[in-house]
Structure 1
Amino acid sequence: MRFSSALQAAALLGLTSGRSVPGNHVVHEKRAVPRSSLHKRVSPDVVLPVRVGLKQNARALEQAEDWLMEVSHPGSSMYGKHWSPDEIVEAFKPTDEAIETVAAWLEKSGISKERITHSDNKVWLAFDATTEEVESLLHTEYFHDDQDRALVAAHEYHLPSHVSEHVDYITPGVKGTLMELRRRDKRALNAESTRKSRRRQQHMKPLPELPKSWSSSDLSTCDQVITPQCLQALYGFKAPSPNAKVSKNNSLGIFEEGDYYAQQDFDKFFAQYFPSVPKGTHPILDSIDGGKAPVPVADAGGESNLDFELAYPIIYPQTTTLYQTDDTFYATSNSSTTGGIFNTFFDAIDGSYCTYSAFGETGNDPKLDPKYPDPNAGGYKGKLMCGVYKPTNVITISYGVQESDLPAYYQQRQCNEFLKLGLQGVSIFVASGDTGVGGYPGETQSDFYGCLRDDDVFSPTQPNSCPWLTNVGATKVYPGKTVHDPESAVFDPSPSFNFSSGGGFSNIFPVPKYQQGAVSSYFKNYNPPYPYYTDGKYENSTGIYNRNGRGIPDVAANGDNIAVWVGGEQGTSGGTSASSPIFASLVNRIVEERIKVGKGPLGFINPTLYTNPGVLNDITNGTNPGCGTLGFNATKGWDPVTGLGTPNYPKMLDLFLSLP
């Protein structure tokens, strides 16, 4: 017999509501529209892996920004007094009342104390229980979609009112869990998920024709090829002595996924452009969940090679650390058009993140993130790596997606992690994106510009909209200009793709306090000629950007015509993928100088830069086109194209050395 979807939904609601619910219980979560695919009852003896996510300390969530500003703002007496991981856990853990109340309810309901695990980060309680037990506990009924690896969920569930106020959410609950429907004493396993992370765009081009007498130290051709010597001239620094003594605890961290470096390319690049870096120099590999590197030269990746070939000439003999994330199946899978990113990386550098509950999610997302051990052919068969690596003082990331690609809760949970890393003294730099105010164009005329709504609303990038990291936009030396002239915002048009510096305003996160003055001045002095909205909700608006969103980027650096070796060939590349490692490398050098005089890492640097914008070279020329517009203008002061500007290394060094 076939049911219409409406009748089936009604039937499902009837099944759920048929269970008697005590009067002192409330609906904790309820699906607005029952999922018709969840049509088969879960057998009573199937074992469910239950997690009760406890609400974090409300005071901590309210004060988190203030705590970060205390250790990050140059005017604070607490500047540089970063927190330890244990202090982070202690500050953000749920209240004792929450823990005791929920645990007492579980024990009273028949889940013995011996069965309950309390996570190290204190934010969740976990136990295994049969479906029959959990249905009785939550006064609900569980359904699945009858697949080999089934999605198990309830349409609603209930908690005692005095317990509900302390619980974020429970899984499996309204949010389904992918699992094998094993019974009795066998533990259920989350199913695999696939994702597609995206590197910021690289633009590999042949090396231009140059005079036979040309060398990498020739500054007259920096408008055609950006060499390490061009960067030194642009930003006022010299290469460190290759024999300098450096700290063993100040390696530059570089995130990579699905893209791999080739040692042969490194050796050719060093020999041609920076011989003081010895042949065979390579990063320290922190392999995460099966990530492997290097690869044969034929498989070399443009992103990885670009990042390291930029970093080494700036920081050597300081080392680099490669966070190569995820096994080949997950890192390179194209089986879905969108997916998660960064969660397994956070897991590896912060063990508490593996089980951290926030914004309705505990641990990794069962649909968006990889599942380890990976059951796929050639997959990583070890357990998910949690807290196995210490984060470096500075980390650069040249990967991301659009803000609209991921659920808000997913991004908010990650943003809290960026904040916690900043509290611990970690400086994180992220490429702002390469599509100006838009996204990557789609395959149909309806999304020609890669923008939102009717292809006309500006599309912010992710994780860039999080306020607790430093976004890096791109500049270039325009044709006919020299390294002694001011740079301009990058714009590199082509028939298939227009590369311009990613920038704009978040639809999820508001303007942070440290940025409010700069954003307000921008609107006052250079009001963009576009209609806007003010609440992040563009669907029913005529506006095309969020006037009250976090501004992107914060700073900028050169991102076009960068000299590289990739796949055994020399050429030029670009993207904000180049800009982020440049800026991060210079900050890593500053941290090294602070260590030499007995000071510590910098952590979150935005408050210092926004308070002291004079340590940057203000960029006042160029735009970042997208969505059928010219985008925003680079202007005097902060702007959503190049931020506060490019690094002036001597001024930045003096400023940060003067701080505690």
Structure 2
Amino acid sequence: MFAVAFALLTGLTLVLSSPSRSIHEQRTNLPHGWSRIRRPDLSGTLPLRIALKQSNIDKLHDRLLDVSHPESENYGKHWTLEEVKTYFQPSEDSVEVAMQWLEESGVERARIEISKGRNWVQVKDLSVAEAERILSTEYHIYEHIHGGTRLACSAYSVPSHVQPHIELITPTLHFDGPPPSKRGHLSARSFKAVDIAPLDSATDDLSNCDVRTTPPCYRALYNIPAEPTILAASKNSFAIVEYTPQAYIGSDLDLFFANFSPSLVGRRPEFISIDGGVVQTEEMDFEVNIESNFDIGYAMTLVGPGQPVRLYQLEDIPEGSAQLLGPFNDLLDALDGSYCTEDGGDDPSVDGVYPDPAPGGYQGPKDCGNKQKSNVFSVSYANNEGDLTPFYQIRQCNEYGKLGLMGITFLFASGDSGVAGNNELCLFPNGTQSVDAPLFNRSFRFSQLLYYFRLTCTTAMFPANCPFVTGVGATQVNPGSTVFDPESAASLTGGGFSNIFALPDYQKSAIEEFYKFHKPPYGADQYNNSQKARGIPDFSVNGVNCTVVAEGLTIAVAGTSAAPPVIGAMITLINDARLAAGKSPVGFINPAIYSDAFRDAFNDITSGNNPGCGTNGFEGVQGWDPVSGLGTPAFEKMRDLWLGLP
């Protein structure tokens, strides 16, 4: 299944393996900007944490399709949190095998702890020297060009009889969080500013949607009702996720609302703080305000005043400003206590540490399964697939699948650099990243046990590459065209094929059709052309010339960041209709949207491409393609189809 990695390549010299040990993870190159500088103090301690293999995880794909595919008799019969926890909890055998291994390695049982969810084994007061001996590895200190360090190794091995019982070990290879940056949030799919101008007083005028995308443009393009009738607000919930220091400005929202939804002036999203997250006002500029202003402004406007919107704000100011948060671990921790690694699992070198000892840091405990879940989550943040190890992404992807079993929809932006990665990075044959490199980013194939770069490459952003979430891209109204004319794919939209996650069953027919009639002109030396890989995006909406207010100025911006909140608003309205009819929320939507029943619920996008890495990228063609996915949604058709399901 795609809960494990592709096993496509073999032959790497296993220098750390022996008849009794096996390499579990290995990296032959570093993420962009990192360099090895020195050996650590071997007497220093590190928080070694072992992620245990979850029971029945190989059945996650089938169980999720069973409640998500429109032809299933169990459609919409979502699981409870307790059912999910019990079904996937690691076995007692895995717990005991891991503990016995550590004891046989010289670790006293008094130093070994099991996390509350029994998903992790943690060793207290372990020296670096002990960790090196236990893992047959060598640690070094790595430094980023913008500052900040990580403790990591290039490979580690475990006893062969232990390997089937574990998923990953930290800290080891993982440079999981975005590195410190001079400014802004490197993992954000930040909008690109197009121009600055005053708001057009004719806010309902659709004649200028080719140069200014506004809420009326979205409504006209996708048949979203201008004044939605909300019937089940008390049962429904729609969440926007932001990471400090990204924060909205209330006065900007009011200026936006005054033009596009006057009844919302003065209204704010319901605030849910995770790990000390705040709507900070210490740093105020376009870069930190555009994302939140857009996400919240459009989400609230499109669902209307009758449907509250929640804001999940993650990280306190010191952690957010230092850019040391992991890629979405903290959100998952807060939502699911069985996943939460409060007492084992998170890597303090990259994940937020709470209580935060930094001056002004959040002094409360780390949020662990204590935050309410929402039916729909819109997330406009991502990381390059090649910056993270497969095991790390797989474990998080599985968690999204488990939350999908509970009826939750996750929407992630597909990226803003075409077939390149964040910051328009491409790859050299040795796996290093540069804007001048020729290969599509993020390129690596690996066996289940190894992690290393080859010449092959792909374009996939994490978590959009996860087959248990919905990755969404961007289209545009062509210059000189109207909202009643066909759109084209936006040249910035990220799209391509993953080298971590295999082709999910729900996408097989679409990918087969794509390769049968529109095989790309690139070989295996430029992208993963195995025809067995997860493709993104799943579908798209307009993401070019989008009107947003920041610091009192109106800006036209472009980016796939526009897609999650706009699509999230549509799914929320569909959930409202289903809940009012006594039905469940739609939950994981991919099996439905790829089914034959939903074929007419999308406007096919057959023009445009997503260039990068010295190529024209992929082309928009008939049917699914790795530029716009299935196309753009026809809201009323989608709503009626989902209302017709159990």
Per the alignment, residue 415 of structure 1 pairs with 397
* Alpha-carbon distance in 2 for matches of 1:74, 1:219: 36
Per the alignment, residue 614 of structure 1 pairs with 600
Q: Deviations over 1:85-108 (max 9, x none)?
A: 211121112223334555678789
Distance 1:28 1:52, change over 3 A: farther
Mapped pair 1:321 → 2:307:
no
Mapped pair 1:87 → 2:80:
no
* Alpha-carbon distance in 1 for matches of 2:129, 2:548: 60
* Alpha-carbon distance in 1 for matches of 2:296, 2:362: 26
Mapped pair 1:572 → 2:556:
yes
Paired AA for residue 364 in structure 2: G
Q: Identity over aligned residues, as a percent?
A: 38
Paired AA for residue 518 in structure 2: Y
Q: Deviations over 1:170-198 (max 9, x none)?
A: 667xx3999xxxxxxxxxxxx99858542
Distance 1:644 1:108, change over 3 A: closer
8 Å contact from structure 2 (residues 456, 527) kept in 1 = no
Query: Which secondary structure state, in structure 2, belongs to the residue aligned with residue 392 of structure 1?
Result: coil
Per the alignment, residue 320 of structure 2 pairs with 331
* Alpha-carbon distance in 2 for matches of 1:42, 1:435: 44
Per the alignment, residue 12 of structure 2 pairs with none
* Alpha-carbon distance in 2 for matches of 1:451, 1:471: 17
Deviation at 1:53, TM superposition (A): 3.9
Per the alignment, residue 309 of structure 1 pairs with 297
8 Å contact from structure 1 (residues 70, 79) kept in 2 = yes
Paired AA for residue 43 in structure 2: V
1:386 equivalent among 359, 368, 373: 368
Paired AA for residue 641 in structure 1: V
Q: Deviations over 1:266-296 (max 9, x none)?
A: 111111122132x211111111112111638
Moved more, 435-444 or 282-291: 435-444
Query: Which secondary structure state, in structure 2, belongs to the residue aligned with residue 219 of structure 1?
Result: coil
Distance 1:618 1:49, change over 3 A: closer
Deviation at 1:120, TM superposition (A): 3.1
1:120 equivalent among 93, 116, 121: 116
Per the alignment, residue 187 of structure 1 pairs with none
Query: Which secondary structure state, in structure 2, belongs to the residue aligned with residue 374 of structure 1?
Result: coil
Deviation at 1:389, TM superposition (A): 0.8
Query: Which secondary structure state, in structure 1, belongs to the residue aligned with residue 436 of structure 2?
Result: helix
Moved more, 192-201 or 126-135: 126-135
* Alpha-carbon distance in 2 for matches of 1:100, 1:89: 19
Deviation at 1:429, TM superposition (A): 0.7
Structural mapping, 1:589-608, within 5 Å: 589-608=573-592
Structural mapping, 1:132-151, within 5 Å: none
Structural mapping, 1:234-245, within 5 Å: 234-240=221-227, 244=230
Query: Which secondary structure state, in structure 2, belongs to the residue aligned with residue 588 of structure 1?
Result: helix
* Alpha-carbon distance in 1 for matches of 2:128, 2:521: 61
Mapped pair 1:634 → 2:620:
yes
Q: Deviations over 1:332-378 (max 9, x none)?
A: 3369xxx8421111111122222399xxxx62234432323333333
Per the alignment, residue 441 of structure 1 pairs with 424
Distance 1:169 1:595, change over 3 A: closer
Q: Deviations over 1:479-522 (max 9, x none)?
A: 2211111211124xxxxxxxx22111112112111101101101
Per the alignment, residue 426 of structure 1 pairs with 408
Per the alignment, residue 42 of structure 1 pairs with 43
Paired AA for residue 548 in structure 1: K
Per the alignment, residue 74 of structure 1 pairs with 70
Per the alignment, residue 447 of structure 2 pairs with none
Deviation at 1:419, TM superposition (A): 0.9
Per the alignment, residue 227 of structure 1 pairs with 214
Moved more, 434-443 or 591-600: 434-443
Distance 1:593 1:461, change over 3 A: same
8 Å contact from structure 1 (residues 429, 469) kept in 2 = yes
* Alpha-carbon distance in 2 for matches of 1:150, 1:608: 42
Per the alignment, residue 522 of structure 2 pairs with 530
8 Å contact from structure 2 (residues 458, 527) kept in 1 = no
8 Å contact from structure 1 (residues 446, 455) kept in 2 = no
8 Å contact from structure 2 (residues 25, 157) kept in 1 = no
Distance 1:237 1:112, change over 3 A: same
Structural mapping, 1:242-641, within 5 Å: 244=230, 246-257=232-243, 258-277=245-264, 279-293=265-279, 295=281, 298-299=284-285, 301-316=289-304, 317-333=306-322, 340-355=326-341, 363-439=345-421, 440-441=423-424, 446-447=436-437, 451=441, 457-491=457-491, 500-531=492-523, 533=524, 541=525, 547-611=531-595, 612-641=598-627
Larger gyration radius, structure 1 or structure 2: 1
Paired AA for residue 467 in structure 2: P
Paired AA for residue 467 in structure 1: P
* Alpha-carbon distance in 1 for matches of 2:135, 2:199: 75
* Alpha-carbon distance in 2 for matches of 1:489, 1:364: 38
Runs (5+) with no aligned partner, structure 2: 1-15, 29-35, 144-148, 426-432, 444-453
Paired AA for residue 592 in structure 1: D
TM-score, normalising length: structure 2: 0.80
8 Å contact from structure 1 (residues 42, 142) kept in 2 = no
Paired AA for residue 217 in structure 2: C
* Alpha-carbon distance in 2 for matches of 1:93, 1:655: 35
Q: Deviations over 1:538-586 (max 9, x none)?
A: xxx4657564321110011111122221111123222111122111110
Deviation at 1:451, TM superposition (A): 4.3
8 Å contact from structure 1 (residues 418, 468) kept in 2 = yes
Distance 1:324 1:234, change over 3 A: same
Moved more, 31-40 or 549-558: 31-40
8 Å contact from structure 1 (residues 260, 299) kept in 2 = no
Distance 1:133 1:87, change over 3 A: farther
Paired AA for residue 209 in structure 2: C
* Alpha-carbon distance in 2 for matches of 1:350, 1:142: 34
Q: Deviations over 1:18-74 (max 9, x none)?
A: xxxxx9x9446689899995575538xx7x7564543322xx122110011001100
Paired AA for residue 499 in structure 2: N
Query: Which secondary structure state, in structure 2, belongs to the residue aligned with residue 293 of structure 1?
Result: coil
What number of residue pairs does the alignment pair up?
Answer: 592
* Alpha-carbon distance in 2 for matches of 1:455, 1:133: 35
* Alpha-carbon distance in 2 for matches of 1:139, 1:229: 58
Query: Which secondary structure state, in structure 1, belongs to the residue aligned with residue 293 of structure 2?
Result: helix
Deviation at 1:306, TM superposition (A): 0.7
